[in-house]
Chains A and B, each alone.
Chain A
Amino acid sequence: MQDLPSGKSVVTDTTTSILDRAAEAAVRATPGTLARRIRGLSDRMVAWIFIAPTIVLLLAINIFPLIWAIQLSFTNYRANRPNEPIKNIGLSNYSRILTDTDTWIAMQATAHFVFWTILLQTLIGFTLAYLIDRKFRGHAFWTTIILVPMMLSPAVVGNFWRFLYEPQIGLFTYIISFFTGIPPTDILMLSSVKLAPWAIIIVDTWMWTPYVMLICLAGLRSIPDYIYEAAEVDRASNWRQFWSITLPMALPFIMLAVLFRGIENFKMFDMVNLLTGGGPGSTTEVASITLKREAFEKWRTGFSSAFAIILFVAVFGLANIYVKVLNRVKSR
């Protein structure tokens, strides 16, 4: 942008000039004349006046901080030491993060969480959608019931799951022990290194399967009836119809659901933070929890900014590749 001769981008130029003029008008005009002036605005100006506030807000709250974070990521700045000089340390934050084994442990925990939640949610969600698409009586009512968990606050509800997971008095452990015969004091969902990663997967699956279901349902309903009718004429079996019509045609929708869930779970913080806090040890320490510890507990602001940028690039990059694949599937 700096290469432009004026030193400013076209966009900002227009925005400022319109804002200036609007401000001028506001200062000078009584309400009546102001209205008359605005009424005479051209479409182009209306467009900019309508869009500019949103862009300005996003620049102020999203882009400006992002640029600040990028700048901080090259320094040793600590937000809890305002009096200390800030040193520029180049790329060493980045190299420290990428060579640190703890980073990769956090990434593995995140990958495990993302992979299994998506797999389970897609399987269960698609199955549910397929069943609901049988359009039995009352399906609309039951669909709404199933949707409820995903509307709730993951933090508030996630916190309550700690109670359900309590080794003896928790309802979840009680039910599991009732069906398996394992003593309820031995089911340590949040304390055992083996079970804790699954504890967070269960809660996430409970909350978000409805989400995948809803999108899959839209996919199934988008398949026109005449395709099935043609298949009937060809005497294709239900099994064939499912594999050659239902699944391929619903695939773009399933992939869209996977994309949204993938991004969300890569960012996962609230539910896991309240349920396990990353423990036991570091077994459920997903990336966002590591980031929070670095940024708001150790106060390594520069270091954590670099970590944030790396995460952002990772999500953004993966999502972009995925969208390309998604588009290819769609166009097929």
Chain B
Amino acid sequence: MSATAHSVVEPSTASKRVAATLVVVYALISMIPLLWIFATSFKTPPDSIAYPPKVLFTPSIEGYCNLFTTRTRQTPEYISSLPPATSFCDETTRKRNMVIAGPSNFLPRFVNSLVIAFGSTFCAVFLGTLAAYGFSRFRVPLADDLLFFILSTRFMPPIAVAIPIYLMYREFGLSDTALGMILLYTAVNVSLAVWLLKGFIDEIPKEYEEAAMIDGYTRLQAFRKVVLPQATTGIAATAIFCLIFAWNEYAFASLLTSGTAQTAPPFIPTIIGEGGQDWPAVAAGTTVFLVPILVFTILLRKQLLRGITFGAVRK
């Protein structure tokens, strides 16, 4: 995205100022929902549903306490019969006439998300790198058809894919297993990985490997010692894209997992309090869930365009 200086066509200062104002206003408005999630996660339940909505409030970590625990309402007599509170969360809960019954399922779900996202990303990038190199360097019969076939799997609505997968996993005992989800996400991500990585590898001049092979490297050695190091940036960017997909995915996860392997996205909307959703706890879960993605977005900003268009647009 390095800017080539527009000489004659450099925009005027005035137009720049107008453009800057409009863009900044849009950016700030589009940030409001995210800032609100963050703010809500530090509100107490009564503050979160106050009218008018509270912009200024005393921060509290009750939302985070509620995110990680399940609680049950009891009579003051019952509560006073218990041993004294041992932690801040314990104390906050008792002030609301409740006791902590146990840990919530958020942590195991978060761990599932990590395992499945990293596992499937690793597999997709591994397979994708090999296949991309194959397509990039060799004359593969029907290459275009195969590449299109790889991409076409993305046209299916996830629910449509999920129907036969559901039956298949039920037969093979893969329902609600991390392995099943890793396989599925790998299959979905590998199309992205092949397309992106083929682009990256195409950019590495063939002459490098040829020179290495003249020096006595075998094809595989040349691949490992010459191509892979050159492609690290591309591989890393691809990995992050795969990771983001697997991390954010909801449709498959909500249909094919129920507990053991359930990831965070289908879980977070089911965090409820005594009535409907416990918004501070939901906001806390959302915040914890979004932070890694924010970090990755910043790391990736130069490669984003390529990633979101399957490598169709390079710049």
Contact B312 A161 (CB under 8 A): no
- Take A149-B34, A232-B9, A260-B308 as given contacts and tell me if A274 and B269 are in contact as well, using a CB distance cutoff of 8 Å: yes
Give the chain B neighbours of A61 by CB distance below 8 A: 165, 183-184, 186-187
Contact A221 B315 (CB under 8 A): yes
Contact A58 B219 (CB under 8 A): no
Question: Which of chain A's residues 156-174 have a Cβ closer than 8 Å to chain B?
Answer: 156-157, 159-164, 168-171, 174
CB distance from A98 to the nearest CB of B (A): 17
CB distance from B273 to the nearest CB of A (A): 13
Question: Which of B15, B34, B156, B294 lies at the interface centre, i.e. has the most chain A CB atoms within 10 A of its CB?
Answer: B156
Contact B168 A68 (CB under 8 A): yes
Is B275 interfacial (CB-CB < 8 Å)?
Answer: no
A215 to B190, CA, bound (A): 23
Question: Which of B40, B219, B255 lies at the interface centre, i.e. has the most chain A CB atoms within 10 A of its CB?
Answer: B219
Contact A164 B36 (CB under 8 A): yes
Which of these, B137, B155, B159, B305, contacts A215 with CB under 8 Å? Answer: B305
The interface bits of chain A over 9-34 (1 if a CB of B lies within 8 angstroms of the residue's CB, else 0) are: 01100000000000000000000000
Contact A134 B11 (CB under 8 A): yes
CB distance from A78 to the nearest CB of B (A): 11
Is B163 interfacial (CB-CB < 8 Å)?
Answer: yes
Contact A51 B131 (CB under 8 A): yes
A291 to B140, CA, bound (A): 38
With both beta carbons as reference points, the residue of chain B lying nearest to A293 in the complex is identified as B159
Contact A136 B16 (CB under 8 A): yes
What's the count of A-B pairs with C-beta under 8 Å? 307
Give the chain B neighbours of A62 by CB distance below 8 A: 153, 156, 161, 187
Question: Which of chain A's residues 243-281 have a Cβ closer than 8 Å to chain B?
Answer: 253, 256, 260, 263, 266-267, 269-270, 274
CB distance from B178 to the nearest CB of A (A): 15
- Take A68-B167, A305-B163 as given contacts and tell me if A38 and B220 are in contact as well, using a CB distance cutoff of 8 Å: yes
Give the chain B neighbours of A174 by CB distance below 8 A: 51-53
Contact B268 A139 (CB under 8 A): no
CB distance from B294 to the nearest CB of A (A): 7
Is B87 interfacial (CB-CB < 8 Å)?
Answer: no
Give the chain B neighbours of A316 by CB distance below 8 A: 152, 155
Q: State which of B23-31, B60-68, B230-238 sits at the interface with chain A.
A: B23-31
Contact A50 B133 (CB under 8 A): yes
Contact A269 B166 (CB under 8 A): no
Give the chain B neighbours of A305 by CB distance below 8 A: 163-164
Give the chain B neighbours of A124 by CB distance below 8 A: 26
Contact A171 B53 (CB under 8 A): yes
Contact B301 A147 (CB under 8 A): yes
Contact B138 A153 (CB under 8 A): no
Contact A53 B130 (CB under 8 A): yes
With both beta carbons as reference points, the residue of chain B lying nearest to A40 in the complex is identified as B218
Contact A152 B293 (CB under 8 A): yes
Give the chain A neighbours of B247 by CB distance below 8 A: 153
Is B79 interfacial (CB-CB < 8 Å)?
Answer: no
Is B309 interfacial (CB-CB < 8 Å)?
Answer: yes
Contact B157 A311 (CB under 8 A): yes
- Take A69-B164, A316-B155 as given contacts and tell me if A152 and B7 are in contact as well, using a CB distance cutoff of 8 Å: no
Is B266 interfacial (CB-CB < 8 Å)?
Answer: yes
CB distance from B158 to the nearest CB of A (A): 6
Is B261 interfacial (CB-CB < 8 Å)?
Answer: no
Is A65 interfacial (CB-CB < 8 Å)?
Answer: yes
A69 to B162, CA, bound (A): 10
Give the chain A neighbours of B266 by CB distance below 8 A: 155
- Take A128-B26, A134-B11 as given contacts and tell me if A152 and B165 are in contact as well, using a CB distance cutoff of 8 Å: no
A66 to B141, CA, bound (A): 24
Question: Which of chain B's residues 7-53 have a Cβ closer than 8 Å to chain A?
Answer: 7-9, 11, 15-17, 19-20, 22-24, 26-27, 30-34, 36-37, 40, 49-53
Contact A171 B36 (CB under 8 A): yes
Give the chain B neighbours of A138 by CB distance below 8 A: 20
Give the chain B neighbours of A163 by CB distance below 8 A: 40, 277, 279, 282-283
The interface bits of chain A over 58-80 (1 if a CB of B lies within 8 angstroms of the residue's CB, else 0) are: 10111011101100100000010
Which of these, A53, A128, A156, A292, contacts B127 with CB under 8 Å? Answer: A53
CB distance from A44 to the nearest CB of B (A): 7
Question: Which of A43, A160, A287, A319 lies at the interface centre, i.e. has the most chain B CB atoms within 10 A of its CB?
Answer: A160
A266 to B26, CA, bound (A): 26
Give the chain A neighbours of B127 by CB distance below 8 A: 53-54, 57
Q: State which of A88-96, A115-123, A193-201, A222-230 sits at the interface with chain B.
A: A222-230
Q: What are 30 A-B contacts with C-beta separation under 8 Å?
A: A39-B218, A43-B138, A47-B137, A47-B140, A57-B187, A58-B191, A61-B186, A61-B187, A79-B170, A131-B23, A136-B17, A142-B23, A146-B30, A150-B308, A153-B247, A153-B248, A155-B248, A157-B37, A163-B279, A184-B51, A206-B30, A214-B304, A218-B305, A221-B315, A267-B157, A269-B159, A269-B251, A270-B265, A295-B163, A312-B156
**Other contacts beyond A41-B220, A184-B51: 14, CB < 8 A:** A43-B219, A50-B134, A54-B194, A61-B187, A135-B3, A146-B26, A152-B290, A155-B254, A156-B286, A225-B4, A228-B8, A232-B8, A292-B255, A296-B159
Chain A residues proximal to chain B, CB less than 8 Å = 10-11, 38-41, 43-44, 46-51, 53-55, 57-58, 60-62, 64-66, 68-69, 72, 79, 124, 128, 131-132, 134-140, 142-157, 159-164, 168-171, 174, 184, 206, 209-211, 214-215, 217-218, 221-222, 225, 228-229, 232, 253, 256, 260, 263, 266-267, 269-270, 274, 287-288, 291-292, 295-296, 301, 304-305, 307-309, 311-312, 315-316, 319
